[in-house]
Amino acid sequence: MEKLTLAQADAIIEGTFAKGAEMGFRPLTVAVLDDGGLMGAFKKQDNSSVLRFDIAQGKAYGAIGMGTPSRNLENVAKERPYFMNALIGASDGKVVPVKGGLLIKSSDGQIMGSIGVSGDNSDNDEIAGIAGIEGAGLTTD
């Protein structure tokens, strides 16, 4: 099983920032977690607000913890709010069920980790994260 390296995590973050700059997004914060949900790399752009770290980490944690992008968790929150409240409680409040959390996969589809992006609207956070993952030669859902 291929493991996510620090060099890959750094490349993902830099690619995410590059896409944000290209698209004129607000300052971004990016958390990359390994396949066990531990922080692999973190970086925030200047003027990204203080709570963005917790939001980015929560998006990534939800994705890796449930094995699905946080976009899907957002839908679950709308369709089954009691389940989502239970999931947030079971994770000690670590899950943030909004777009911007993505699985990082190897070329053969194995989950290597996850990314959480926060700073702009959630759709834009997701766009930047996808670009970062793909720019590093990896895939996502």
Q: Where are the beta strands (DSSP E) in the chain?
A: 29-34, 39-44, 101-105, 111-118
**pLDDT tens per residue across span 17-49:** 999 999 999 999 999 999 999 999 999 999 999
Give the pLDDT band (50/70/90) at residue 53: very high
Q: For the chain, what's the residue count?
A: 141
- The angle at the Cα of 117, spanning 134 to 13, to the nearest 5 degrees, equals 50
Are 113 and 40 spatial neighbours (Cβ–Cβ below 8 Å)? yes
Give the C-alpha separation, 58 to 52, whole Å: 10
pLDDT of residue 1: 77
Does the model's pTM come out above 0.85?
A: yes
Strands laid side by side in the 111-118 sheet: 39-44, 29-34, 111-118, 101-105
